[in-house]
Amino acid sequence: MNKRSKLKIISALFFSVILLVVLVTTIIVQTFAEDNAYVANGTCGQNLTWTFDNEGTFTVSGTGSMYGYPYGVPWNSLKDDIETVNIKNGVTSICEKAFSNCVNLTSVTISNSVKKIDNSAFSGCFVLESVILPDSVISIGNNAFSNCYILTNITIPDSVKTIDNNAFGQVKNIIYSENMNAEGSPWGANCANGYIDGVLIYSDVTKTKLC
């Protein structure tokens, strides 16, 4: 085998190794991206961050309260794509209009550290089906869950002390604990023709017992 043939073989082997390394690296990067894909992320409090992934899940994590955004939250452009909201332990408030008009939002998980749900936080989430309010919640703001037409039942924990105007407007059944002494007028539930056996349901203005 002459010198030129040896050089050709060495060159071919070298380029084959390079191509193999590139291919393996691409596969690793692609797999990592698929498993850890965040469409967008940012900060939403002094010690809070938010992420939105390629499965439609919006997550808030860290410690403390969310910033207020008088001109709209930074993720406004993503709202049509948010399907699930996950508020992690350590977060103490959900800001005004945080998830208002998230028209494809179906499920919300709120950790047991959240004390305040601000005005219109989830208003206009037309297909929201499920929300469990933790025992940590003290205050629920104006229109917090108004016009969530599919949300047919929501239980207010004993910890709640204030419920502001129309907080649950158009939510059919609001379940209040017999031990709860929250203040606020109107209480927010438009539950005409709505009832749940064995618990107390109130109308939005007079707190008339319906069942």
**pLDDT (tens digit, 9 = 90+) per residue, 51-84?**
999 999 999 999 999 999 988 999 999 999 999 9
**What pTM does this model have?**
0.72
72 vs 172, residue with greater confidence: 72
Residues 51, 41: Cα–Cα separation, whole Å = 4
Average pLDDT over residues 11-27: 50
User: And the tokens for 127?
Assistant: 């297909």
User: And the tokens for 61?
Assistant: 């994590």
Residues 166, 120: Cα–Cα separation, whole Å = 10
Q: What is the b/e burial string over 61-71, where b = at least 16 CB atoms within 10 angstroms of the residue's CB?
A: bbeebbeeeee
Average pLDDT over residues 155-169: 81
The closest of 68, 60, 143 to 108, measured between CA atoms, is: 60
How much is the mean pLDDT over the chain? 76
For residues 75, 79, 85, 89, the Cα torsion angle rounded to the nearest 10 degrees is 20
The closest of 85, 105, 177 to 137, measured between CA atoms, is: 177
The closest of 126, 134, 179 to 155, measured between CA atoms, is: 134
The closest of 30, 33, 91 to 58, measured between CA atoms, is: 91
Residues 87, 79: Cα–Cα separation, whole Å = 16
Question: pLDDT confidence of 205, banded at 50, 70, 90?
Answer: very low
State the pLDDT at residue 102: 97
Host H or E run for residue 13: helix 3-35
Least confident of 13-27, 74-88, 156-170: 13-27
Looking at residue 102, the DSSP 8-state letter turns out to be -
Give the range with max mean pLDDT: 32-41, 50-59, 181-190.
50-59
State the pLDDT at residue 53: 94
Question: pLDDT confidence of 198, banded at 50, 70, 90?
Answer: very low
Average pLDDT over residues 147-158: 80
